[in-house]
Amino acid sequence: MNSYEFISSLVSSLAWPFFSFLIILVLRKYIGHIFKSLESFKWKDAEFGFKKDLAEAESDAQNLKLSSTTNLKSFSLAPKSLYEQAMSLAAISPRAAVVDTWRTVELTTMEVAKELNLEISGNIAGTNVIRKLVNQFKLDGAVLGLYEKLRRIRAEAAHAPNFQVDYDESVKYVELALSLANRLKSLVSEKKK
């Protein structure tokens, strides 16, 4: 093989990867819009359907008659209510608002478990706590379904590479998640009565 054949072979071997990369680079803006319009996304064994899961979570919350958004404005651990903090974050980064609000639900779940002297263990301690609350404190079983849907949405927001959520969807999520956290906190005051 002489140098001309080598160069020819090299060019022919690298041509399709180079042009594929070039096409993706040129069309990346349009590809992003395609991913934004996806209602579900499947990767390996995981399937993500944010809009569907959010609608189901909202339906569960309505069935549970969780507190309205007016009550959420007072749900606070800091000078600015968690609701106001989440709304500010949603305006900047809707995805971050979803992830951060879930953190509030997890912390509230663990706080309630501690207040009610429930044992906390395992990788999915929050889910186990909710199960115990349903069984021991006669909490509506639909709370577990809502908790799981909100957890799944948060996982999608945190881990799906092309996850997109707009401001309105993140506001819905924040309201549902904080309503759930409010309901869990109310168990402590109900037990003290």
Specify the CATH number for the domain of residue 103. Answer: 1.20.120.330
Based on the domain organization, do 111 and 184 belong to the same domain? yes
Give the list of residues 6+ apart from residue 83 with CB closer than 8 angstroms, or none.
Answer: 69, 72, 73, 75, 76, 174, 175, 178
Based on the domain organization, do 49 and 15 belong to the same domain? no
Q: How far apart are CA 39 and CA 166, in angstroms?
A: 13
Q: Cβ–Cβ contacts within 10 Å for residue 135, how many?
A: 10
The range of the structural domain enclosing residue 3 comes to 1-37
Based on the domain organization, do 45 and 87 belong to the same domain? yes
Helix, strand, coil percentages for the chain (3-state, nearest 5): 75, 5, 25
CB 127 within 8 A of CB 148: yes
Based on the domain organization, do 18 and 62 belong to the same domain? no
Q: How far apart are CA 9 and CA 32, in angstroms?
A: 34
Based on the domain organization, do 14 and 46 belong to the same domain? no
Q: Looking at residue 99, what is its pLDDT?
A: 92
Based on the domain organization, do 11 and 46 belong to the same domain? no
* Count of domains observed in the chain: 2
Based on the domain organization, do 101 and 24 belong to the same domain? no
Based on the domain organization, do 123 and 147 belong to the same domain? yes
Tokens in use for 106? 């997890």
Q: Running along the chain, 193 residues long, what does each successive block of 10 average in pLDDT?
A: 77 77 73 59 60 76 65 55 84 91 89 84 75 80 86 88 86 91 83 66
Tokens in use for 157? 């927001």
Tokens in use for 100? 């951060």
CB 147 within 8 A of CB 126: yes
Based on the domain organization, do 129 and 70 belong to the same domain? yes
Q: Looking at residue 100, what is its pLDDT?
A: 92
Give the list of residues 6+ apart from residue 139 with CB closer than 8 angstroms, or none.
Answer: 130, 133, 187
Based on the domain organization, do 26 and 94 belong to the same domain? no
Based on the domain organization, do 126 and 103 belong to the same domain? yes
Q: How far apart are CA 28 and CA 190, in angstroms?
A: 53
